[in-house]
Structure 1
């Protein structure tokens, strides 16, 4: 028996509370409404974060279960809207040591993204999860001003004990319309955006 039931990894990396609790009242999701996973509890996502840098991918871990089918990745902007966007996409990466791209949304290019607005990115094709594990959800916006995101700010995003995952990370530079094939050489980020998977 493990501390967190089916989860057998590092205790502080256990993210399933975010996927299980969203089905309760605090998360606001009806369990009969279909598949729903979140990177954090709804009440935890209170900050207006500066989680993005133009042309750089930000990714967050999320615990997914075998059989989950991920079709959409939703983020919510904070008080700052995107100004003159040229590229915008979201992607899902595997649970491998060097995460591999599993699916990407279409590039939303110059589509407006206003303040305090949900933005749902539909993956090019639904992704069926083949094994329980911690996967990565990524967002990239290239714009004169990137939107702020709803989430949390933390000074402890980087792992504290051996082998802990980052709670948020950045990677890549000068990205445009296509997600990288892998998440390579990530850097821990101090802000963790809320993302909802449906």
Structure 2
């Protein structure tokens, strides 16, 4: 399995971040290649199913995903349910030594700050070798291996873009977002 983790700090409380990330349908606003996310069944919790329509180059593909678990306000697990072995999670971790959200920003008389913050991480695991060549209607003279070779490196930039844009909307402003990226793959 190839693994990618993109994490950063968000100036918002964990509950707000968690609720924001539960809105899978909003993800289409953050990705260059994700055109639409439709809820097929469920209420956002475990068992909820989505259709994610991607478009890249001359190809359009609709993936099916399912929420496999939630631990409010810390974790949302998901998996792709057809054509490839892939899944992952969103993790929301309060920052601070006592387990509570650490705050930052303008300090009051006690030196405490009033702006909560937490770490958010998008974790993705996938097995490119499990991808089904029958999943795409390819143009003539285009091989499935060529498509994989071109598309897999895009996963990292897309994950980074999604996290950066989500932070922008969560915080309500644009700033340089410092990303910590971990990759366990020679393909991405």
Whether the TM-score (by the shorter chain) exceeds 0.5 is: no
Which has the larger strand fraction? 2
User: Which structure has the bigger radius of gyration?
Assistant: 2
Q: TM-score, normalised by structure 2?
A: 0.29
